[in-house]
């Protein structure tokens, strides 16, 4: 079996010091090759059956990473779309509890309903804020802005105690943080960040009983027999979570299939150890420079208040990071090295 390092060297050769996976991950070489082949297949007018098969292979791979049966996984193209399906299922007046400043794709679909009671509290108060009136708690496993990790076991316990459902977005965690999707009612993840897929991929996990969701976006792909469901109303919806599919982007899922295979080969535990070692190296270096990041222990995302204005300077030096509300956000993933961290620290030190 190839080592972690040799697999990474074979798949990635970034031309910048790329520390911005929290915005968008890099594509592995195998995924780039698969995308070229898919485009060539389409240009040649050959049947698209292999691309449809890639959707199912990606679904199965994600199910293994999420530790759930594949029958619980729906494929789509954005977190906001999946959030919208969940928002549409709630009765008027239902209370949705969210974390202040969470990513808009998670929370905005509940706001635009107009007839839901959406309550936002600080992340650290989320668990204690669940109450009997709460119908749903929606939160990101790791916060996009600063990497803070939600206390998911405590949240699950509080939601269970009060009869609330849970909706967890793993977009900033899937791929480096172990994901026990079966512990929650609904989970979702975009595929283009830490899972290293193209844009246009997002997967939703629903309960075995579908959690009272209505497949409001169901088209022909949501039929039990899709090719028999192309015209008129779909007479039989899929008996699995595929009834919640939102016409997957075929090229994107072809790329994602191969990216997920790489994550599985490496193992989430090994990726996590690698990523956190780099994040901790950066935190230690920041302390030496007199800077204090937002406290986010155990996170691969490090956010430093007051340094966001340095992003353009870093970009000119060939270092890719993000500016989020004045904070410099660096995110460390499997293709990064200690030398990348030290280069970032050197530039920040001036």
Domain that holds residue 23: 4-27+268-349
pLDDT digits (tens, 9 = 90+) for 288-325: 999 999 999 999 999 999 999 999 999 999 999 999 98
Taking alpha carbons only, the member of 213, 200, 202 closest to residue 240 is 213
328 in a domain, yes or no? yes
Clarify whether residues 101 and 249 are in a common domain: yes
Give the domain CATH number at 315.
Answer: 3.90.1150.10
* pLDDT of 279 strictly over 60: yes
Among 176, 169, 168, smallest CA distance to 194 is for 176
pLDDT in the model for residue 243: 98
Same-domain pairing of 178 and 290: no
Residue 154: give its domain's CATH number: 3.40.640.10
Asked whether residue 169 is assigned to any structural domain, the reply reads: yes
Based on the fold, state whether residues 297 and 226 are members of the same structural domain: no
Burial class (CB in 10 A: 0-12, 13-18, 19+), 43: exposed
Q: Tell me, what's the pLDDT at 265?
A: 97
In the structure encoding, which two tokens stand for residue 274, read together?
């690698």
Helix (H) / strand (E) element for 250: namely helix 250-266
Domain end (from 239, 265, 291): 265
pLDDT, mean of residues 256-263: 98
Choice among 1-5, 191-195, 296-300 with the minimum mean pLDDT = 1-5
Average pLDDT estimate for 135-163:
98
Cβ 149 vs Cβ 298: under 8 Å: yes
Same-domain status, 8 and 53: no
pLDDT in tens, 200-221: 999 999 999 999 999 999 999 9
- Mean pLDDT, the chain, rounded, equals 97
**DSSP E strands: which ranges in the chain?**
17-18, 73-76, 95-99, 117-121, 134-140, 165-169, 186-190, 202-205, 301-304, 319-320, 322-324, 327-331
Same domain, 179 and 204: yes
Residues 236, 222 share a domain: yes
Same domain? 19 vs 157 = no
d(CA 255, CA 268): 19
Is the pLDDT reported for residue 108 higher than 70? Answer: yes
CA neighbor of 248 nearest in space, from 301, 214, 213, 204: 204
Do the Cβ atoms of 92 and 118 come closer than 8 Å?
no
Distance between CA 10 and CA 150 in Å, rounded?
A: 34
Kindly state whether residue 323 falls inside one of the protein's structural domains: yes
**In the predicted model, what is the mean pLDDT of residues 237-250?**
96
Tell me if 32 is assigned to some domain: no
pLDDT attached to residue 325? 85
Q: Provide the domain count of the chain.
A: 2
What's the pLDDT at 252?
98
227, 267 in Cβ contact below 8 A? no
Q: Assign 294 to helix, strand or coil.
A: coil
279 occurs within a structural domain: yes
Q: Do 186 and 83 meet the contact criterion of CB atoms below 8 Å apart?
A: no
Residue 118's pLDDT band, with cuts at 50, 70 and 90, is very high
Angle of helix 79-88 relative to helix 104-112, nearest 10 degrees, comes to: 30
Query: Of 214, 245, 265, which residue constitutes the final position of a domain?
Result: 265
| 313 lies in the same domain as 338 | yes
Look at residues 248, 246, 256, 264 and name the one whose alpha carbon lies nearest to residue 198.
256
pLDDT for 178: 96
* 2-11, 64-73, 120-129: range with lowest mean pLDDT: 2-11
- Distance between CA atoms of 55 and 133, rounded to whole angstroms? 39
* Single pTM value for the model: 0.96
Q: Are residues 203 and 304 in the same domain?
A: no
Same domain, 98 and 214: yes
The yes-or-no verdict on residue 1 having pLDDT over 80 is no
φ, ψ of residue 70 in degrees (nearest 5): -60, -25
List helix spans (H) across 12-151.
Answer: 29-43, 49-66, 79-88, 104-112, 126-129
pLDDT tens, position by position, 128-145:
999 999 999 999 999 999
Alpha carbon 161 to chain centroid distance?
27
Residues 156 and 248 in one domain: yes
Q: Does residue 202 belong to any structural domain of this protein?
A: yes
149 with 78, same domain? Answer: yes
Domain final position from 215, 243, 265: 265
Show the tokens assigned to 143.
Answer: 């916060």
């Amino acid at each position: 079996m190839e080592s972690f390092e040799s697999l990474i060297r074979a798949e990635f050769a970034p031309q910048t010091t790329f520390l911005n996976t929290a915005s968008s991950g890099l594509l592995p070489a195998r995924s780039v090759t698969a995308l070229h082949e898919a485009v060539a297949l389409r240009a040649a007018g050959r049947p698209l059956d292999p691309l449809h098969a890639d959707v199912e292979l990606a679904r199965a791979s994600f199910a293994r990473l999420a530790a759930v049966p594949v029958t619980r996984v729906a494929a789509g193209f954005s977190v906001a779309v999946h959030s919208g399906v969940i928002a549409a299922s709630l009765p008027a007046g239902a209370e949705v509890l969210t974390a202040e400043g969470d990513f808009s794709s998670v929370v905005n679909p509940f706001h635009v309903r107009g007839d839901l009671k959406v309550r936002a509290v600080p992340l650290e108060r989320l668990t204690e804020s669940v109450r009997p009136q709460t119908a749903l708690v929606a939160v990101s496993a790791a916060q996009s802005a600063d990497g803070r990790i939600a206390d998911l076991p405590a949240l699950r316990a509080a939601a269970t105690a009060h009869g609330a459902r849970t909706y967890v977005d793993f977009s900033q965690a899937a791929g480096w943080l172990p994901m026990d999707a079966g512990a929650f009612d609904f989970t979702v993840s975009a595929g283009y960040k830490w899972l290293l897929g193209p844009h246009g991929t997002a997967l939703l996990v629903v309960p075995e009983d579908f959690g009272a969701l209505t497949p409001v976006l169901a088209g022909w792909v949501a039929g039990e027999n899709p090719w028999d469901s192309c015209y008129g109303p779909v007479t039989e919806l899929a008996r699995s979570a595929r009834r919640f599919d939102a016409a997957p982007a075929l090229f994107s899922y072809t790329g994602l299939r191969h990216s997920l295979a790489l994550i599985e080969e490496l193992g989430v535990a090994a990726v996590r150890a690698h990523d956190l070692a780099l994040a901790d190296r950066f935190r230690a270096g920041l302390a030496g420079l007199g800077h204090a990041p937002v406290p986010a222990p155990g996170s691969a995302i490090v956010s430093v208040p007051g340094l966001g204005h340095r992003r353009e300077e870093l970009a000119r030096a060939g270092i890719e990071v993000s500016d989020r509300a004045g904070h410099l956000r660096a995110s460390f993933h499997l293709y990064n090295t200690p030398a990348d961290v030290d280069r970032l620290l050197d530039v920040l030190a001036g």
